[in-house]
Structure 1
Amino acid sequence: MEAPGAYTGMLWEYGPTDQCYINTTVEAPCQQGYVPQYSVNASSIKDIQTAVRFANKHDLYLVIKNTGHDHLGRSSGGNGFSIWTHYLKGRTWHDSFVPVNAPKDVSGQPAVTLQAGEQWVDVYHAAATERRIVVGGHARTVGSAGGWLTGGGHSAWSNIYGLGIDNVLEVDVITPTGELVTLNPYTNQDHFWAIRGGGGCAFGIVTHVTYKTHPEPDHIQAVLVQVNATTNETLKEALSATLKALDIATAAGYTGYGYINQLNTESLFPAGFGAILLKPNGDDESFFAAAAPFLKINNSNGISSLAFPLIYPRWIDYINVYLTDQNIAQNVVDASRLLTPSVIHNETANEALVDMMIEHGAGLNFIGRVNTTGRSNTAVHPAWAESIGVLSFGTNWEDEAPFEEKQFKRQLLVAQSERLGEIFGPTGGTYINEANPFEPDWQNVFWGSNYARLLGIKRSIDPTNLFVCNRCVGTDIVFEAS
């Protein structure tokens, strides 16, 4: 967002009363809301260092904002002092990058170094010129070196190359004392582990990140899938089978994004499941392997299904068609979990999830198995090693909706998180960048068994707890749904 106080989710701007909207008159009283009162438009590393030291000296509530896409309100904060890194732009392409302090026998590899304000759409277009692939997000304006990175970063390329953090070779961060440090496996292994999945700004302010780059494939195969139903009974049958079909499609190497629609909604789409799946260099054999379980759902009892492939010559061609920014200037929040085979093939759990979907609708913010090579080298929830997608139950409200409606929907979100906790059990986790901002069991659901180690590292590098944000490691900032 190209304004220091603008956020993708409007709920992170508005205050509790005297709210001002796009059509509010100039004479109306307006509160500051949740927008920080002061913001530093950082144009250099020195700007960030000076601002951090100032916040430390005066014990200020420090907020870090890159693009303002954070679903948990972590880049916003009432009565806060903000450092805004959006205009720190720059890309450096490397043919043979070697991390700082690496042993002499470490070979260089193709990579790109991105400054904090770089956004994915710009990175992708630049990468296309270089004939390279960078493992990034499926939204145009999300920052490539901010919260997407520290939260793990799922990608259309995750089946092959892992999460975004699995492709990080080096990160430069500003510490709570204002020092610029370089993190990689050869400098500070604990801090490097924590920044890759530790979430938000808890472990420092990223100024640069260096990602591996990969060669372009011959083509991108995209597969459009639609499963429709006409009654709640047939919808239940269709969704149960669809969940199981996702296991087969992801095993065939496809990633993607999808939605689940209720009956009798105002949506333009029919009741059922829809998705776009994709695979680099996908062919007829892989298509039929992935599509077969969806097509098998098709019957004469009120369920219809289809799947058909499309070919795009290059990744940038796919990007130009499908890459969007959803939920801009809305109040969307999600309760989510990492979808796993052990849950979808458990009939009791499968039925419970389908019941939730029929009642509330749902989204699959990501579909795909993630390459788990080196998973223990990053701080994300261990459930990522088994996950085949991110399942979310969202809610939204009009800006001018009554306070009671907003409160009800926030509390409903908490109830949904609690129900998901029952279904997935104590080892269930989620993708923290698309999680419930009011998640009741957040330490466990966000990081699981990794939380204890993260908390120890946090206390060692940030003993005064300067870097805080909603439901971040070691924080005392915990937004409530009431």
Structure 2
Amino acid sequence: MKRRDLLKAAATLPLTPLLMRSGTALAHGVGTMAINLRSRVRPGQPGWPAATEWDRLKRRVGGRLLKLESPFVSCSASQTDSACAQMLKQLDNPFAVGDSPELTQTSGWADAWTSQPSAYAVAAKRAADVVAAINFARQHHLRLVVKGGGHSYQGTSDSADSLLVWTRHMNQVRLHDAFVPQGCAGYIAPQTAVDVEAGAMWIDVYNAVTTHGARYVQGGGCTTVGVAGLVQSGGFGSFSKRWGTAASNLLEAEVVTADGQVRIANARTNPELFWGLKGGGGGSLGVVTRLTLRTFELPEFFGGVNFTIKADSDAAYRALIAEAVSFYQRALFNPHWGEQMKLYGRNILEVSMMFQGHSKQQAEQIWTPFLEWVQARKDCQITKPFEALAALAKHLWDAEFLRKYLPDAIAMDDRPNAPRDRFAWAGDREQAGSFIHGYQSAWLPATLLQLDQQTKLADALFTAAQHWGVSLHFNKGLAGAPVDSIDRARDTATHPQVLDAFALAISANGGDPAFPGMPGAKPDLAKARRDAAAIEHTMAALRAVAPNAGCYVSESDYFLRDWQQGFWGSNYPRLAAAKREYDPDGLFFVHHGVGSEDWSPDGFTRLRR
């Protein structure tokens, strides 16, 4: 897989206009907060905390206050410094990048942002550490940043001159046989669940829930993504067509709000805060310290299907796309199938899909009609042979099993003394530190799969692929999912279009790591701008058949203008109301997050209230 092709880095597996108007006391106990237009302070400016004040904060958090600087400051032209060399060596290891509070999993976005370390970080190990950091930031008018996994493409876990709340070390996972959210006895029945601290990665949760607990939890496809960030953004995994979004399966959260209070949020306690955390975007309403997610019975099998087809002509490619669309509607538009079909220039269709609840033989039988259609044509060639793999579901994230049977599919954390159960999918490791050229997405409505609409869809996909590659993520649209999964997702802040979309279309590209100060980092901005323009043309072709399409907040255009509508649609006014209630002064700021329209783009200057 080429690092520059972010389309291929998407977990392919083998087997935030409403303004704050009032400073009155709040109904749910957040209390009165002074409202002003005071800008946040930077190092060296009047009001920046003195060394003695930082020392007091350090004592409050048990010594876990870190003064940060770029790991590349020690790099010389010859790159002989051992610390620099070691960092460069580990730059493609997402576990190592995540363990570095100075770094983010993406090094930046052309003409948008570049990864810069905060001035200080609180390496939180408990909720009290988060409380201390929030109170300190509020009292001293500091820019506050929150980072767990650090996977934000839009740079929301990154800002220079800020105080970072780094939750990486809050990573405990605990299973429940009969969990009832606080205050919900008699309202919500006991159910199997898992408690997850905010800094855990999905591999930590899958190890506990599936590999060792023989149950399923709906999480993300990339094992190194932080649990809290994914849930707050909505959260899709390979099997979301069956079990819904991660946000829709949130039962309860512990969250520290802007007044420094530790609150429980569930369906009956702080319900609007709870709803906002379910897809309203991370870092806008508070700092989550714990989440409790429902778990499910495992199916017998998880598996995957992979192959590639090349058409000999444009006419043949149009026919191939039309047949793929028709076949998807006939055979795959159901809870069993997720992941991707990818369309590229040069008339290439790549299939990398996953399934649940089928055996290998059943998967092969399902695909036989499509393969026979291809083989009967003289103008379409299978360039990568069809392969179906399946295994007992409990083995999908079982590192020991994968090392034995599918070693090329995974990339272990290869640092000395690294846990043996922590791995990334091989393709995901190659996107660590990548520099984004462009990234756009759009939900495609299931109406496009109707027989009288399929030709229009196929033509749009063909036109789109002539400009840049596009990938259809079928698991990131919930049309075709069971009623219970759709109903749970309906009660989240995620854009309502997800309920009626058969797929999320993504077009993207990027280049090699380009952290500031990194030796050899030379992003080609001219190429990046050409790529971004091509991606715009690609997505315009799809928006022509899906006008007013919303997009997924975590995988979207940094430069999106009407982002409130694009990310949340009709849900945005309710999210803005929750923001006014729980964070009226706007302590929590992220790019294009709820309430961010009240601030300058860098989050340092308040523009209105």
Answer yes or no: is 1:273 the counterpart of 2:324.
no
Say which structure, 1 or 2, has more relative contact order (CA 8 Å, 6+ apart): 2
* Larger-gyration structure (1/2): 2
For each residue in 1:27-60, what CA deviation from the matched residue of structure 2 results, as whole angstroms up to 9, or x when unmatched?
xxxxx96332222211221111111111111222
Moved more, 277-286 or 130-139: 277-286
Question: Shift in Å at residue 180 of structure 1?
Answer: 0.7
Structure 2 distance, partners of 1:201, 1:417, is 28
Moved more, 247-256 or 158-167: 247-256
**C-alpha spacing 1:65/1:141, structure 2 compared with 1 (3 Å):** same
Q: 1:342 is aligned with what amino acid?
A: T
Moved more, 468-477 or 289-298: 289-298
Question: Shift in Å at residue 271 of structure 1?
Answer: 2.3
Question: Shift in Å at residue 458 of structure 1?
Answer: 1.2
- 1:50-449 to 2 correspondences below 5 Å: 50-104=132-186, 106-127=188-209, 128-145=211-228, 147-258=229-340, 260-263=342-345, 271-282=348-359, 284=361, 288-289=365-366, 292-293=369-370, 295-304=372-381, 307-317=386-396, 320=402, 321=406, 324=425, 325-326=428-429, 327-332=431-436, 333-343=438-448, 345=450, 346=453, 347-367=455-475, 369=478, 370=481, 371-398=485-512, 399=514, 400-410=522-532, 413=535, 420-426=542-548, 428-449=549-570
Structure 2 distance, partners of 1:287, 1:423, is 32
* Aligned residues between the structures: 458
SS in 2 for 1:437: coil
**C-alpha spacing 1:291/1:75, structure 2 compared with 1 (3 Å):** farther
Question: Shift in Å at residue 156 of structure 1?
Answer: 2.3
Moved more, 38-47 or 167-176: 38-47
Answer yes or no: is 1:11 the counterpart of 2:108.
yes
Q: Report if aligned partners of 1:42, 1:48 keep a CA contact under 8 Å in 2.
A: yes
Q: Report if aligned partners of 2:255, 2:286 keep a CA contact under 8 Å in 1.
A: yes
Structure 2 distance, partners of 1:222, 1:415, is 31
**C-alpha spacing 1:302/1:413, structure 2 compared with 1 (3 Å):** closer
Q: Report if aligned partners of 1:142, 1:148 keep a CA contact under 8 Å in 2.
A: yes
SS in 2 for 1:296: helix
**C-alpha spacing 1:411/1:4, structure 2 compared with 1 (3 Å):** farther
Q: Report if aligned partners of 2:239, 2:355 keep a CA contact under 8 Å in 1.
A: no
Q: Report if aligned partners of 2:467, 2:538 keep a CA contact under 8 Å in 1.
A: no
Q: 1:104 is aligned with what amino acid?
A: G
Aligned residue number for residue 267 of structure 1: none
Q: Report if aligned partners of 2:472, 2:504 keep a CA contact under 8 Å in 1.
A: yes
Moved more, 118-127 or 295-304: 295-304
Q: 1:383 is aligned with what amino acid?
A: Q
Question: Shift in Å at residue 167 of structure 1?
Answer: 1.2
**C-alpha spacing 1:350/1:439, structure 2 compared with 1 (3 Å):** farther
Structure 2 distance, partners of 1:331, 1:291, is 40
Question: Shift in Å at residue 241 of structure 1?
Answer: 2.9
**C-alpha spacing 1:176/1:165, structure 2 compared with 1 (3 Å):** same
Q: 2:173 is aligned with what amino acid?
A: R
Question: Shift in Å at residue 236 of structure 1?
Answer: 3.0
**C-alpha spacing 1:177/1:418, structure 2 compared with 1 (3 Å):** farther
Percent identity, aligned pairs only, is 24
Q: Report if aligned partners of 1:254, 1:279 keep a CA contact under 8 Å in 2.
A: yes
Q: 1:134 is aligned with what amino acid?
A: V
Q: 2:547 is aligned with what amino acid?
A: G
Q: Report if aligned partners of 1:63, 1:76 keep a CA contact under 8 Å in 2.
A: yes
For each residue in 1:321-366, what CA deviation from the matched residue of structure 2 results, as whole angstroms up to 9, or x when unmatched?
5562252121134201123322355334442232112320123345
**C-alpha spacing 1:33/1:66, structure 2 compared with 1 (3 Å):** closer
**C-alpha spacing 1:43/1:119, structure 2 compared with 1 (3 Å):** same
Q: Report if aligned partners of 1:37, 1:79 keep a CA contact under 8 Å in 2.
A: yes
**C-alpha spacing 1:455/1:413, structure 2 compared with 1 (3 Å):** farther
Aligned residue number for residue 119 of structure 2: 37
SS in 2 for 1:52: helix
Answer yes or no: is 1:456 the counterpart of 2:564.
no
SS in 2 for 1:71: coil
Q: Report if aligned partners of 2:241, 2:338 keep a CA contact under 8 Å in 1.
A: no
Structure 2 distance, partners of 1:468, 1:80, is 11
SS in 2 for 1:440: coil
Q: Report if aligned partners of 1:235, 1:358 keep a CA contact under 8 Å in 2.
A: no
For each residue in 1:141-169, what CA deviation from the matched residue of structure 2 results, as whole angstroms up to 9, or x when unmatched?
11112x20111111223222211112111
Moved more, 404-413 or 177-186: 404-413
**C-alpha spacing 1:232/1:417, structure 2 compared with 1 (3 Å):** closer
Question: Shift in Å at residue 307 of structure 1?
Answer: 4.5
Scaled by the length of structure 2, the TM-score of the pair is 0.69
Structure 2 distance, partners of 1:51, 1:330, is 30
Q: 2:290 is aligned with what amino acid?
A: H
Question: Shift in Å at residue 259 of structure 1?
Answer: 5.0
Structure 2 distance, partners of 1:382, 1:174, is 27
Question: Shift in Å at residue 256 of structure 1?
Answer: 2.9
**C-alpha spacing 1:79/1:230, structure 2 compared with 1 (3 Å):** farther
- How large is the Cα RMSD of the aligned pairs? 2.8
Unaligned runs of 5+ in 1: 17-31, 265-269
Question: Shift in Å at residue 297 of structure 1?
Answer: 4.4
SS in 1 for 2:274: helix
Unaligned runs of 5+ in 2: 1-97, 410-423, 515-521, 603-609
Scaled by the length of structure 1, the TM-score of the pair is 0.86
**C-alpha spacing 1:105/1:4, structure 2 compared with 1 (3 Å):** closer
Structure 1 distance, partners of 2:371, 2:159, is 44
SS in 2 for 1:388: strand
Structure 2 distance, partners of 1:479, 1:415, is 26
Answer yes or no: is 1:469 the counterpart of 2:590.
yes
Q: Report if aligned partners of 1:227, 1:294 keep a CA contact under 8 Å in 2.
A: no
Structure 2 distance, partners of 1:53, 1:328, is 33
**C-alpha spacing 1:4/1:445, structure 2 compared with 1 (3 Å):** same
Structure 2 distance, partners of 1:256, 1:176, is 38
SS in 1 for 2:463: helix
Q: Report if aligned partners of 2:244, 2:488 keep a CA contact under 8 Å in 1.
A: no
Question: Shift in Å at residue 419 of structure 1?
Answer: 5.3
SS in 1 for 2:304: strand
Q: 1:137 is aligned with what amino acid?
A: G
SS in 2 for 1:458: helix
SS in 2 for 1:11: strand
Q: Report if aligned partners of 2:198, 2:289 keep a CA contact under 8 Å in 1.
A: yes
Aligned residue number for residue 19 of structure 1: none
SS in 1 for 2:439: strand
